Amino acid sequence: MPTRRSSARWEGGLKGGKGTFKGESGGIGGQYNFGSRFENGVGSNPEELLAAAEAACFSMALSGGLERNGTPPTSVETNAACTVEKVEDGFGITSIKLDVTATVPNIDDAKFQEIANATLTGCPVSKAFKGNMEITVNARLA
């Protein structure tokens, strides 16, 4: 299995500094700073990247679970919200909330919910986050 790489560079102090990041494929990259991470400033941030990773992985894993059930989806759209907040010793990433909408022919909602919830334990990114933050899913059929 492949190993994927990304890099980041930070210049300056914490509040006045700025950073850039990029993935080896060239498919991701951007700028970040204190304001874009802890306030509402312009730029990206690590939590946005974690949310994107979780949304992408969860969508693929849910698709696989639905396919194994004999009900392959037409589409799966996952929005992820990753929260960083003040904790006792600084800042911590405390939760990721997933909002999933899927178009899946020939499945009832109970079975869909069962597969969506099982995906939280089967998705590789969710597995990496398990025990470190709360992960919740709100899944619905389109």
- Torsion over CA: 60, 64, 66, 67 (sign): positive
Q: Domain 46-141, what fold?
A: GMP Synthetase; Chain A, domain 3 (3.30.300)
Which residues of the chain does CATH 3.30.300.20 include?
A: 46-141
CB distance 61 to 116 below 8 Å: no
Per-residue confidence in pLDDT tens, the chain, 142 aa:
899 999 999 999 999 999 999 999 999 999 999 999 988 899 999 999 999 999 999 999 999 999 999 999 999 999 999 999 999 989 999 999 999 999 999 999 999 999 999 999 889 999 999 999 999 999 999 9
Q: What local confidence, expressed as pLDDT, does residue 33 receive?
A: 95
Its pTM stands at 0.92
Question: Nearest-CA neighbor of 124 among 67, 49, 54, 63?
Answer: 54
Q: Are 133 and 95 in contact (CB under 8 A)?
A: yes
Residues 71/106, Cβ–Cβ less than 8 Å? yes
Q: What is the pLDDT of residue 1?
A: 84
Is 62 in contact with 119 (CB distance < 8 Å)? yes
